[in-house]
Amino acid sequence: MTDSTKAAPVTIEAEGEVALIRIDNPPVNATSQAVRQALKSSVEQVLADRKARVIVVYCAGRTFVAGADIREFGKPPQEPHLPDVYNVIEQSPVPVVAVMHGTALGGGLELGLASHARVGIEGLRVGLPEVTLGVLPGAGGTQRLPRLTGLKPALDIIVSGRQVAAQEALDLGIIDRLDSGDPREVAVRMAAEVLGGTLPTRRTDQIDLAPDPDLIRAEAERLAKTAPNLFAPHRCVECVEAATRLPMAEGLKFERQKFRDCMDTPQRAGLIHAFFAERAVANVPEKSETPREVTKIGVIGGGTMGSGIATSALLAGLEVTLIEVQQDGLDRGISTITGNIDGAVKRGKLKANKRDQTLGRLTPSLEMESLADADLVIEAVFEDMGVKKDIFGKLDGICKQGAVLASNTSYLDVNEIAQATSRPEDVLGLHFFSPAHVMRLLEVVVADKTAPEVVATGFALGKKLKKVAVRAGVCDGFIGNRILAHYRKSADYMMLDGASPQQIDAALEEFGFAMGPFKVGDLAGLDIGWASRKRKAPTRPAEERYVEVSDRVCEQGWYGRKTGKGFYVYEVKEISPNPEVEKFIEAEREEKGITPRSFTDQEIIDRYMTAMIAEATRVVEDGTALRPVDVDAVFLFGYGFPRFRGGPLHYADRIGAAELVKRIETYAQEDAHYWQVPELLRQMAQDGRTFDDLNKER
């Protein structure tokens, strides 16, 4: 073997009796086909040369192997398959040491598990996140990890998909040593320790694993309750159980079959779609524009939303000026932000020694003039066009040239807001979702005159705040709230026609939503929807069917959780149906001559989802959303849509356009005004196209 034999993208370097194998596949050393082939060939070449007494695998760049190559997702797998590569490593008669730094995830950690010793470099994080993509670790993770850690820690890591920090990995036995330094230097040092007998090596397949049927049974029962709609977590448990009774070779075959089973499920397809949706939405017409620099932002309004936005900006390292009109409002805002920051420390999202420094970047003020040097200002006051236009008129005279002026409005016309300034090109909507420091969605609302670099600035800010930014056009409610306003009516109609709010909520929670629509309304505050309905009342079409139950609830001052009552009654630790709501429902039925009928849970799901899909289609049709995947991202990251279903329009493809048209036409026999077939959907049904086809075309 020569001193530097290269089989790109893997390099073999000989140093005495040590063979150093370096993987160099930027940016994250993913296990592409080229890497798999080169790694297998490199190990086989070293073994064939018979000169090395120890092999060390390490990676160039900022991380160890961080997982699979996402460019290969959805494509036919190419040989050599990862399990075969790792079997060569595990069966090597020459001990193999993995030196891991950065992140070792999925196939990266499985490479380490197949090695005979694992050394972590400080800062390392490891994990098997495959379950979050609807599959399971398919290259030995479910067989080798339990042998190193024992059953309970392995089940936790594999089923949750969580990342494990270096010290915990050491404590659990995932790694054998924790070191510091350059990966190559550590590799050379660890090789010397193996040769000197101070770093023991062993084959994972030779470690005995004691069975624990009670633990396996308990985990299976837990998942049956907490993840009934998912497929992969249950198969993970089956694979770990198999590791307790099968030799490694048979266990790997069992694992591979369960992996293939996962690949064929709709959950896997939905989770993969969700994974790519987060990346696809960044592909906007303005992506090549240079964003304006933003280091100082202003937030107008210290309520729940404004305080959440300010918190998010502070955690991202920005300087924030918070504006309120009264001292008591400002004090409440400061208190809320402080509580949010303390919560971040408690949850481990912010180091305790960074708390005071983070809060130190907050400047509270009662004077709008304090925003004179802000790079970007976000207005987050209540939904009143007159108030918002007044604020933007003042900002026009206060803010420096080039400052971005943004509104957090949920529904109102950003074009009209922009007209209150002499610089409409600097105005856009930045619609955050509550709680703004937690929810990941950010709708970047582009008005008619918004400059392209201002749009790019909105996306750059979203990235800095770790949000999923989605481009939206101007209309009442933009993407998410416009669709919500439509499909929420379907729940009201079913309620009046015979389904109770509790049945509707339960059916949709069974479908996968964290909460049904009536619980969501109570959580968000019923007064928000009430204000919107009152605003739209003068232009409501005469033929629209209008349900008054929610109005009656709000008229009692019952706005949901914040008042202790809404569609439900909220005690200290209990939630129960509000019996008064049924009286409102019965009174309205009697007044309108409605005879209630029974609904099956599936009928509730079908009507609710068809209504959602219909309006989502219109949002794509008229260009409010760039592509179907943008709608999916909005609902995945802002509205609690079940991730494993991939989003409403991904789910629509499973139903099929023809079936959706048939449903709408059937429902239209009851209410032709509400149930209308979008022209785009009708055309898709005729052409046999899917929303996924539209994603590829746009």
**Which residues carry out catalysis?**
110, 130
- Rounded Cα distance between 155 and 347, Å, is 23
323: alpha, beta or left, given left = phi > 0 and alpha = psi -120 to 50? beta
Q: What's the 3-state SS for 288-324?
A: CCCCCCCCEEEEECCCHHHHHHHHHHHHCCCEEEEEC
Task: Assess contact for 635 and 629: CB atoms under 8 A.
Answer: no
Annotate 41-72 with b (16+ C-beta within 10 A) or e (fewer). bbbeebbeeeebebbbbbbebebbbbbbbeee
Cis peptide before 435 (omega within 30 of 0): yes
Quote the tokens at residue 50: 């018979």
Q: Which two tokens stand for residue 531?
A: 């204000």
Instruction: State both tokens at 487.
Output: 């499909």
Lookup result for tokens 């959780």: 561
Rounded to whole angstroms, the Cα distance separating 471 from 157 reads 35
Strand order in the sheet with 103-105: 103-105, 125-127, 163-165
Contact at 8 Å (CB) between 518 and 491? Answer: yes
Q: Counting Cβ atoms within 10 Å, is residue 213 exposed (0-12), middle (13-18) or buried (19+)?
A: exposed
Per-residue b/e over 544-577, b at no fewer than 16 CB within 10 Å?
eeebbbbbbbbeeebbbbbbebbbbbbeeeeeee
Helices (H) and strands (E) in the chain, counts: 29, 20
- The total of other beta-carbon atoms located within 10 Å of residue 373's CB is 12
